[in-house]
Structure 1
């Protein structure tokens, strides 16, 4: 899957402008006389919320993983410190046992009187005392280190569990938004299907476009996608061969102009369902089909990356996707391979 940097959806007012090919648009209005952009606007808003929720969830998941790793590292250090303390205790025990074997319960004064070399005895005793002191200091130091490690491990574990709990809430929020988005997507699709069935196109609802920073004259028609059916491939849904490149995306995904040009047609009937065709300088045309909504009018100039509408599954379509064509004329049958065409212009799909 090709991943593109996702820009935020600046406004949630997004809906369909569908103009009959070769003639003026026939507007389909809701029962209240409005053109009903609510479903499209809700999809755009929920796409933004879903993107933000996913970002927060992923940030929380990564933070929790880091804290878990830190807690596990602290646990390993703590276990090593405990082993070192146990080893020191063993050394101290060996010294104590050696002292008992050498002198037993006999007082030091008596040991000196009985010793063949009292000075050597005192020297040995001082060495034992020094060893005792060093071991006691080492044990105290290790215990302080152990206490510090225990506190660090406790904090790291608490932070990890707190992040896990927070991430659980984020996951629930993410799922809730996803459910609402799915409902809004199919509501939008239902409106588009009714428009296509009635042969009436809804008028354009103007969008406050997101801020584009396109550095290339050409861009893929969607930002995040997975390629599905390719150009010239066989399929039972097509009378001959597949005439374009399909991009697997969800209903309501913003569809953008592949390059600068002028909209030559916006229509809502036939096998392609709701579609837009754009003429580009140099003689090429691009087609965007199976849409759920559009946001441009026939004759309108567009720039590379500008939203043309929202993807859907209108017309002869088995599921949500964008059908995209590059043509030598505005008409079906003059298509060229979009992947190769983009590659010639420095864009890899």
Structure 2
């Protein structure tokens, strides 16, 4: 039998535990399974790897294009330099012909003896020598410049070939990552559909947050997207008008809190499928719907840009996207247009 002291400690602890359980939302299960955690984490990791590989691929592609442009510029300079050398060769030929015409093959001493004006002859020879030396000097400079340009052209070609090989490697790596990502996304969506059909949402999957810190107070709910259905638009899937802004993104895309706030709801029933609602200072609420997974629990505090879930196609959805709403209450029916609302906070979609 426990001592009276242990019993006194046990009863308050039990009451606290019951209070915590009672405070938790009824439509969210306690914890996801280990496989669910691994799957969400795998999708997030592959998403980041695919994005990083795409960024490197694009950077290498631009660098290779710069090397090609550099090689084209060098080739133009070489062409010009070769034309200049051809002109100089013509000048040398002209000088040689001038020397032959004036003196033939006679030695200079004999020319001076036979000349009517030896001094004028010497001045003419000096001018020819100077022109000859100038053309020789210019030719030598041009040859050296041509050698340097040829070496630069070879370096640019080598660098371009190296970059193109790297891009071929990255293309293969990118395809492999995207193939794995597609398979993982399909599994994640299948798991989400099963959870929604059962009406029992998986608990929060604590995703590793991105390294880059967000310094702005407000951000877009996803980083890379295509805007689809807008606020107020009509459609057969809505009773009246569309109440948010849709972001067309693949399954598993990290969904971010647009600003600081507190999670007031996580649920997976109804037309919105898996969703999260965040309350922000100032009385506004944002909703993130049709998710494949959530990374927060009710009551969590979130920071701007923090990953709070992964996009999906749960609930009344015709394809993968994020349905984003801004409301004046946490409930449906109080939505305002999110595009100007974000614009007033410095976020242009």
**Shorter-chain TM-score tier:** 0.7 to 0.9
2:96 corresponding residue in structure 1: 96
Q: Which has the higher contact order (CA 8 A, sep 6+)?
A: 1
2:6 corresponding residue in structure 1: none
Q: TM-score with structure 2 length normalisation?
A: 0.84
Which has the larger helix fraction?
2
What's the offset of the Cα at 1:150?
Answer: 1.3
Q: TM-score with structure 1 length normalisation?
A: 0.84
d(CA) in 1 for partners of 2:296, 2:230: 27
Structure 1's unaligned 5+ residue stretches are: 1-18
d(CA) in 1 for partners of 2:303, 2:288: 15
What's the offset of the Cα at 1:314?
Answer: 0.9
1:248 corresponding residue in structure 2: 248
- After TM superposition, list the pairs within 5 Å mapping 1:308-347 onto structure 2: 308-347=308-347
Structure 2's unaligned 5+ residue stretches are: 1-20
2:60 corresponding residue in structure 1: 60
Deviates more, 1:90-99 or 1:276-285: 276-285
1:13 corresponding residue in structure 2: none
1:3 corresponding residue in structure 2: none
Instruction: Check conservation: 2:24, 2:298, Cα contact below 8 A.
Output: no
For residues 95-141 of structure 1, the C-alpha deviation after alignment (integer angstroms, 9 at most, x for no partner) is 22222233334444443343222333333233323332332232222
Instruction: Check conservation: 2:25, 2:266, Cα contact below 8 A.
Output: no
User: Matched residue of 2:304: which SS?
Assistant: coil
d(CA) in 1 for partners of 2:212, 2:68: 39
2:5 corresponding residue in structure 1: none
User: Matched residue of 1:221: which SS?
Assistant: coil
User: Matched residue of 1:37: which SS?
Assistant: helix
1:24 corresponding residue in structure 2: 26
For residues 66-101 of structure 1, the C-alpha deviation after alignment (integer angstroms, 9 at most, x for no partner) is 222222222122111111111111011112222223
State the Cα RMSD in Å.
2.7
Instruction: Check conservation: 2:81, 2:146, Cα contact below 8 A.
Output: yes
Distance change (3 Å), C-alpha of 1:240 and 1:134: same
d(CA) in 2 for partners of 1:204, 1:307: 11
Query: Are residues 1:45 and 2:54 paired?
Result: no
d(CA) in 1 for partners of 2:326, 2:121: 101
1:220 corresponding residue in structure 2: 220
d(CA) in 2 for partners of 1:299, 1:92: 89
d(CA) in 1 for partners of 2:60, 2:280: 44
1:185 corresponding residue in structure 2: 185
For residues 9-43 of structure 1, the C-alpha deviation after alignment (integer angstroms, 9 at most, x for no partner) is xxxxxxxxxx9x9952464999xx74522221111
d(CA) in 2 for partners of 1:125, 1:305: 83
d(CA) in 2 for partners of 1:189, 1:215: 32
1:140 corresponding residue in structure 2: 140
Instruction: Check conservation: 1:67, 1:160, Cα contact below 8 A.
Output: yes
User: Matched residue of 2:291: which SS?
Assistant: strand
User: Matched residue of 1:36: which SS?
Assistant: helix
